[in-house]
Amino acid sequence: MKIAVCVKEVPAGSSRRVIDPATLRLRRDGDCELNMFDANALEEGLRLLEALGSGELMALSLGPSRAGRSLRRCLALGATRAVLVSDEAAAGSDLVATTAVLGRLLEREQPDLILFGQQAEDSDGGLLYAAVADRLRLPAISKAGQLKLADGKLQAWRSTEDGRELVQLPLPAVVAVSRAANEPRQPSLKGSIEARKRPLEECSLAELGLDPGLTGERGSRTVVRALSVPQLARSRERFEGDAAAAAEHVLAFLTARGALET
């Protein structure tokens, strides 16, 4: 069994998010960390391999060389391999351009199962797994957890608005793992030491045989024209007092504006 987990390094939650005025893109030169949603995907992959007793779990990512830090964390947690596609030509890739890179890498690796976190903390798009599945023409599900292999197929519990449902997929397949699927483990001291010895492969677009024109800004299908801070058009008032006084004030406020019938 060969499992690939696609991960992303994002600005740390404790850091201030800053937009570069020149590129209109999020700056990533500050403190960064492994996307927390991807930690759930990695955990689910590790649990699946532990249940099988054998197999390979590889962590894949697209980003600058410093993103190797997050891949090292994946290795410390138990991933057997890590591959980082790092190429300046891929900078600024949108959803479509990113799928071109990840799709080519996944075609090269030929995993039996491809896992994603449900979304990324920096963009919150939640669509990359589906876009990659579409490019590779593979079945896909989202908000999944408790993965299990049975009769050569993948079984997964999926969260829905009405509860949970059990879904069965043929392999290979793409799965976006729910944030609520598990509690990711923390790297041990032994795992952190061993992670330094495990291979972290860094490759370019040329090594993947991918045309640079399909990635980065040239390969992107979305263009950011401008960014601005939204203006609050509604009137507002602030008042202090006990609960009874507050209720009277709110009632008067709404009545004066025609929100309530007198």
pTM over cut 0.85:
no
**Each residue's pLDDT tens digit, 222-237:** 888 888 877 776 667 7
Domain ranges of the chain: 2-219
* Cis amide bond preceding 172, omega within 30: yes
Alpha-carbon distances of 59 from 14, 73, 129, 154, 199, rounded to whole Å = 24, 10, 15, 20, 11
Q: Strand order of the sheet with strand 56-62?
A: 163-170, 153-160, 140-150, 173-177, 113-117, 2-6, 56-62, 81-85, 200-203
**Each residue's pLDDT tens digit, 183-240:** 999 988 888 888 888 889 999 999 999 999 999 989 999 888 888 877 776 667 777 7
Q: Which residues have CB under 8 Å from 83's CB, separation 6+? A: 58, 59, 60, 61, 71, 105, 109, 200, 201, 202, 203
CATH 1.10.10.10 correct for 2-219: no
Are 121 and 144 contacting, i.e. CB atoms less than 8 angstroms apart? no
CA of residue 71 relative to chain centroid, distance: 14
**Each residue's pLDDT tens digit, 54-70:** 899 999 999 999 999 99
